[in-house]
Copies of this chain bind each other. A is one copy, B any other.
Amino acid sequence: MGNTDGFQPVSGFDLPRFAGVPTFMRLPLMGLSDPRLAQVDVGFLGLPWDAGTTNRPGPRHGPRQVRDLSTMIRAQHGVSGVRPFDLVNCADLGDVPPNPADLQDSMSRITAAVSQVRQARVLPVAVGGDHLCSLPVLRAVATDGPVGLVHFDSHTDLFHSYFGGSLYTHGTPFRRAIEEGLLDPARMVQIGIRGTAYDSEDREFAADQGVRIITIEEFFDRGVADVMAEARRIVGQGPTYVTYDIDFVDPAFAPGTGTPEVGGPTSFQALQVVRELRGVNIVGADLVEVSPPFDNAGGTAFLAASILFEMLCVIAPRLAAAKAD
């Protein structure tokens, strides 16, 4: 597999970063019916939808702002020297249109779009949107049986229901995903959990199911390398999904989110944890809960774009190697 010139991001030397219609990392934009889709290896897909949000809305505006700030991403990783766009063909696959008035319909649309992406043998990287978006993505990803999960977040999102029985909110997606057989609890790890709690219902469920929770206290005590080594052991070599809630990061570094929890990691650690996913068999990923109305000057969206590039630099070499075989 080689790369196609058409899949290189526009360079800031050719078109200044403030110019041009912004796509994810300045990649070519193509719809799901575009014939070039067949050549794509990794596709970024926007999920501008936040109907699962129970407090402060805004993530529906996330994909647009992440695209805007992602124009500041360049082509080469600063530490590893990886040049992902030379290794695999990447594209911006646009946004899945939600139905603001119908939650179930919106979820169906996401599942359908991601299914189409995967049928084209494109690895999906979704950009939310709130965390409920992960559920319909997983429905399209876990088609051959439950997958493993590396989950960065300050919340477990494992609650049963909200507001007198509502099963689908941004606090419940992974409970649903386990119940639906999309996730293998024994191959799940949640990292960064903190903040005040309603009660222990979510943690008891996790304990019952065998989901491993690494609180922020444990995270800081052990350090990134040790924690992530355990995470890699937990998911092993089976197919694994990575979900990254931007509220994993401390709100000083990522203020633009609806349900912040103080006392979190720095932006350096925010990147490190992703870098430590090297070797994991990632079959899909998402980054969610960027909320532009709370994101002064776009810093949270830029951090999100930096995390997405870090993800890509973990995914691309493995994908390129696999295809080379």
Interface residues of A (CB under 8 A from B): 11-23, 29, 46, 48, 50-58, 60-61, 63-64, 67-68, 72-79, 81, 92, 94-103, 162-164, 166, 168-169, 193-200, 215-217, 220, 250-253, 255-256, 259-264, 266-268, 270-271, 293-294, 296-297, 299, 302-303, 306, 309
Contacts and interface: CB of A to CB of B under 8 A. Distances in A.
B92 A21 contact: yes
A162 B101 contact: yes
A98 B16 contact: yes
A272 to B, nearest CB: 8
Nearest to A218: B79
A76 to B, nearest CB: 4
B215 A64 contact: no
Which A-B residue pairs are the 9 nearest by beta carbons? A101-B166, A57-B57, A293-B293, A262-B267, A263-B268, A74-B196, A19-B48, A76-B197, A252-B253
Given A55-B72, A74-B197, A268-B250, A100 B163 contact: yes
15 contacts: A11-B198, A13-B198, A14-B163, A21-B21, A21-B92, A54-B101, A76-B200, A77-B197, A78-B194, A78-B197, A100-B166, A195-B306, A220-B268, A256-B297, A296-B297
A19 to B, nearest CB: 4
A196 B77 contact: yes
Nearest to A62: B18
B99 A164 contact: yes
A280 to B, nearest CB: 21
A217 B79 contact: yes
Nearest to A262: B267
Contact of A267 (B64, B102, B250, B270): B250
Given A101-B169, A166-B99, A18 B251 contact: no
A17 to B, nearest CB: 5
A180 to B, nearest CB: 18
Contacts of A81: 200
A21 B75 contact: no
Contacts of A217: 79
A316 B232 CA distance: 40
A306 to B, nearest CB: 5
A12 B268 CA distance: 33
A199 B99 CA distance: 20
Given A215-B79, A303-B262, A164 B21 contact: no
A17 B163 CA distance: 11
Nearest to A102: B166
A262 B302 contact: yes
A199 to B, nearest CB: 6
Contact of A95 (B12, B15, B56, B61): B15
A165 B74 CA distance: 19
B72 A259 contact: yes
Nearest to A101: B166
Nearest to A168: B101
A299 B252 contact: yes
B251 A196 contact: no
